[in-house]
Amino acid sequence: MWYFRKLPDGLTVLQTRPEHAQQLEELQRTCFPTLADAERFKAAHYLKHIDLFPDGQFVVLDGDRVVGATTTLRLHFDFDHVDHTFADLIQGGWLSSHEPGGDWLYGADVGIDPSYRRRGLATALYAARQETVWRLRLRGQVTAGMIRDYGAVKDRMSPDDYYRGVVERRLTDSTLSMQLGVGFEPRALLANYLNDPVCDNYSVLLVLPAEQEVRGASRKHAMSYIRLNTEIPGSRARDLIARRTAAAPAGLGRATDVAVERADGGLVFDVDGNTLIDLAGGIGMLAVGHSPAEVVKAIQQQAAKYIHPCALVATYEPYVQLAELLNEITPGAFSKKTILANSGAEAVENAVKLARKYTGRPSVICFEGGYHGRTLLTLSLTSKYSLFKSGFGPFAPEIVRLPVPHVYRTPPGMTEDAYVDFGIRQLEHAFVAQVDPKAVAAVIIEPVQGEAGFIPVPPRFLARIRELCTEHGIVMIADEVQCGMGRTGRLFAIEHYDLVPDLITIAKSLGAGMPIAAATGRAEIMDAAHLGGLGSTYGGSPIACAAAIEAIGIIRRPEFLAHARALGDVMREVMNAWTMKYPIVGDVRGLGPMMVAEFVADRRSKKPATPDETLQIVREAVARGVILMRAGLYSNCVRFLPPLVMPEDMLREGLEVVGGAIEAVSLRHAGTPA
């Protein structure tokens, strides 16, 4: 869904979604009360329109209320043989003559709620249609518009006289005159086109060629996904941000000044009518995109049944089904069980508790750069002290933190292989110098470190962790809260390593944006807790479970994962070119479509760029219509977590904007005008 336009009076024009169908049926009944019922679109028609040609269906919304609409089709139009009727268009319950390769946009209707007429909504809908013409490079719009006022004068005037009078501007018709004002060219009067006494069954064949400009339509916007009507933040966004600042604590982070009104797929539509490409993806929550129709439907259906009886009180199908699914899809050919929770941090807490209970040991090994959450235990495990931990101690005991090889920062004079060997020796040495392996309950590691700057753990290092855990009876926990659920082009990042952890923690994209997480693993470990030792009031919300079940169904499809990998290839192609073009880009890395660009002040020394310099790039990109956020131990990286449903051309447009932002900031720092 690419179209979103905020009108001056606050109404919005956007593409029709399935949930609008019933309102559209009611709107047509209101707009055309005398139209024969057999020739009136029903909810099923609108759903079919969306299915056949989603680009060409538009609504005007006042809040969530549909107050205007148009539906269109593509076809090859023969102007010499106009022999169809409106009934033909809805024959069989859909736009039966739709031709995906058609070179004309045929407008089947425009309806405006009577109380909203004379506010320019019809023109706004024609503008949306004209932008569709430009976007799809069609020849223009064709429509058969009724002469709405002819029925009142048919006893004293022939239809031809009335038609000529309106075309010559001697008479005014509430519909045809407006269409002529938009720029439509009248071609012919059509008799018996539709069954409605207000027009005595007459209509007029009208054409709006692609060369015609329409008030409110923008060729620039039509050819891109980004649509900027105001600066970011605009006035409405500034007001909302001010309210947030007054109502919420100062410590609540905010990566951008974007204030969201709606979102769809890979696009965010803000409260000021701007359209932005989202390359932050909710910090990895949105593998299946914003508001995917299947997930929205699943949420709605579950909410209509029951909202939350609580898994500690009763048993319900969505919890059980999701646990079964996760037991099935997570790595490992052994018996598994799953505990559901509300957040990644809670999933990690459960995994560590279970590992301690199962082994009877207290210590947990984690790694520099790791991020595992913000609760007391998970914050104790988390690295990046100044941003996340400063002033929040004392922290939980029995935590051993070890370095992990970051090959981009291989010490001078050492090869990458030698550096990984050194990291493995440090790991092995820790079992002598820092903790007895008989005291270690778990080793927890992200296969791709997230907050550290999307650092894929070197395969040999991760393999040695697995060997040591097996040797000493230690539980290996793969934290895949951010890097799991398709984010790296496979269901789980650990699959790239041909390793199987004992437990795996999952969240973020698992719920398609709903708050849900899981710890899944070996049944004997998961069963270690005593009855009542695990639980959460909201853990495993049926609504969140319904969303997760639907999200898993989407993500595990081979074509979804193949598209995700293709997006990763595009990201590497474009971002690797940045390293050749912009000296500030020191490294580009990641796994699949989970990528980061690291900025440096000097490539030779790899001195990190300052957090402020990186923030300038983020702000410049946002100002140009792309949502980004920082990452990295030094806050000198920009992370890329695009929704994996994003089409390639949208991703390329977003990355092009980011490249321009990097260039602009680099030139400013060099003292050169951007």
> For residue 139, which phi and psi values (nearest 5 degrees)?
-85, -20
Q: Is the pLDDT of residue 43 over 80?
A: yes
| CATH number for region 235-284+559-669 | 3.90.1150.10
Structure tokens at 57: 């269906």
**Average of pLDDT values for 391-409?**
95
**What per-residue confidence (pLDDT) applies to 40?**
82
Q: Identify whether the C-beta of residue 125 lies closer than 8 Å to the C-beta of residue 13.
A: yes
In 347-471, where do the E strands start and end? 363-367, 399-402, 440-445, 448-449, 455-456
| Domain ranges, ordered by start, for the chain | 4-222, 235-284+559-669, 301-556
| Tokens 């020739």 -> residue | 39
* Single pTM value for the model: 0.91
Confidence tier at 408 by pLDDT (50, 70, 90): very high
Cis-peptide into 459, omega within 30 deg: no
Q: What is the pLDDT of residues 542-590, one digit of tens each?
A: 999 999 999 999 999 999 999 999 999 999 999 999 999 999 999 999 9
Q: Is the pLDDT of residue 503 over 90?
A: yes
**What per-residue confidence (pLDDT) applies to 82?**
79
**What per-residue confidence (pLDDT) applies to 386?**
83
**What per-residue confidence (pLDDT) applies to 91?**
66
Percentage of the residues of the chain whose pLDDT score is greater than 70: 98
Instruction: Return d(Cα 414, Cα 177) in angstroms, integer.
Output: 78
Q: What is the pLDDT of residues 258-312, one digit of tens each?
A: 999 999 999 999 999 999 999 999 999 999 999 999 999 999 999 999 999 999 9
Instruction: Return d(Cα 64, Cα 19) in angstroms, integer.
Output: 10
301-556: CATH architecture: 3-Layer(aba) Sandwich (3.40)
Q: Identify whether the C-beta of residue 363 lies closer than 8 Å to the C-beta of residue 435.
A: yes
* Distances from the Cα of 621 to the Cα of 233, 279, 629, 665, angstroms: 13, 10, 10, 10
Fold of 4-222: Aminopeptidase (3.40.630)
**What per-residue confidence (pLDDT) applies to 38?**
80
Antiparallel, parallel or unpaired: β 399-402 and 363-367: parallel
Sign of the Cα pseudo-torsion (386, 387, 391, 397, in order) = negative
Confidence tier at 196 by pLDDT (50, 70, 90): confident
Q: Is the pLDDT of residue 427 over 70?
A: yes
Which residues are within 8 A (CB) of 63 and not within 5 positions of it... i.e. 6 or more apart? none
Q: Identify whether the C-beta of residue 5 lies closer than 8 Å to the C-beta of residue 227.
A: yes
**What per-residue confidence (pLDDT) applies to 81?**
81
> Count of alpha carbons within 13 Å of 8, Cβ hemisphere only?
3
Instruction: Return d(Cα 521, Cα 518) in angstroms, integer.
Output: 10
**What per-residue confidence (pLDDT) applies to 39?**
79
| AA identity, residue 230 | T
Q: What is the pLDDT of residues 327-352, one digit of tens each?
A: 999 999 999 999 999 999 999 999 99
Q: What is the pLDDT of residues 449-465, one digit of tens each?
A: 999 999 999 999 999 99
**Average of pLDDT values for 485-495?**
97
Antiparallel, parallel or unpaired: β 455-456 and 475-479: unpaired
| Tokens 């938009």 -> residue | 182
Structure tokens at 134: 């430009």
**What per-residue confidence (pLDDT) applies to 673?**
62
**What per-residue confidence (pLDDT) applies to 674?**
55
Q: What is the pLDDT of residues 83-102, one digit of tens each?
A: 777 777 666 655 667 889 99
Q: Which residues pair with 143 in a beta bridge?
A: 107, 206
Percentage of the residues of the chain whose pLDDT score is greater than 90: 88
Instruction: Return d(Cα 271, Cα 365) in angstroms, integer.
Output: 45
HEC per residue, 15-49: ECCHHHHHHHHHHHHHHCCCCCHHHCCCHHHHHHH
Q: Which residues pair with 110 in a beta bridge?
A: 70
